[in-house]
Amino acid sequence: MNTTTVPEIRKALKRPTHPTQPPAPILRQTFVLKNVFGLHARPSALLVRTLQPFACQATVEHDAYAVNARSILGVLSLAAGYDSRLTFTFQGDDASEALMAVKHLFDTPFGEAYQ
């Protein structure tokens, strides 16, 4: 018969079974959309494709509405037009690389979407 008491079980459950890892970095940056057609289907698809290789979480906000930046329907639902301010948040080990990839899209007004 097992003589383990309830308090001992609770104490054992609270004990971490693996060493805790430092939290993943969170990066935020706001960009101004300079694509004259706004964030329509082609640039939205390019944004989603650009984020595919990265494992980090990515969200984008516009007018207090936040969506998953990896979702084409979410990005399109923002209805972001020319001169819109979009704030991206990245969290994960490769957050800085994902941020740089998105920064490149905004630096080149999504020109790759039209090639």
22 vs 56, 57, 92, CA distance in Å? 15, 16, 11
pTM as predicted: 0.78
> Which domain covers residue 60, as residue numbers?
25-114
Helix axes 41-51, 95-107, angle to 10 degrees: 150
The first and second tokens of residue 113, run together, are 């979407």
101 is a domain residue = yes
In 3D, which of 58, 64, 68, 63 has the Cα closest to residue 29? 58
How many independent structural domains does the chain possess? 1
Distance CA 52, CA 47 (A): 9
Confidence of residue 76 (pLDDT cuts 50, 70, 90): very high
Catalytic annotation, residues: 40
Give tens-digit pLDDT for 19-46.
Answer: 666 677 799 999 999 988 999 999 999 9
More confident residue, 97 or 10: 97
14 is a domain residue = no
